[in-house]
């Protein structure tokens, strides 16, 4: 795919690329220049405040003790699988 650089230094990102990267109006991009001179374009990391909106609240909050119990149980289950 190709794009043309305007006199203002702007390019239009082809629709196929925008769709592949799930880009939307206002999204920020990073341009990464590799040692061989190639350039990678990746979505910039979003601030945590934006990501918070993507998370839903749990149906039921767990206490610290309940969280510790779940972590211990799953850790033990993983250890058993590795030994098997």
* 34-41 own/partner pairs: CB under 8 Å, 24+ apart: 41/13, 41/17
Domain ranges of the chain: 15-83
50 pLDDT band (50/70/90 cuts)?
A: low
Per the CB < 8 A criterion, the answer to whether 23 and 43 are in contact is yes
Q: Is the pLDDT of residue 82 over 80?
A: no
pTM: 0.46
78 pLDDT band (50/70/90 cuts)?
A: confident
The residue among 47 and 18 whose pLDDT is bigger is: 18
């Amino acid at each position: 795919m190709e794009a043309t650089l305007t006199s203002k230094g702007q390019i239009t990102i082809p629709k196929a690329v925008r769709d592949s990267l799930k880009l939307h109006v206002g999204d920020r991009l990073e341009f990464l220049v590799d040692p061989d001179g190639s350039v990678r374009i990746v979505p910039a990391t979003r601030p945590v405040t934006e990501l918070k909106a993507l998370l839903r609240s749990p149906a039921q909050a767990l206490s610290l003790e309940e969280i510790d119990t779940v972590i211990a149980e799953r850790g033990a289950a993983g250890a058993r699988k590795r030994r098997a």
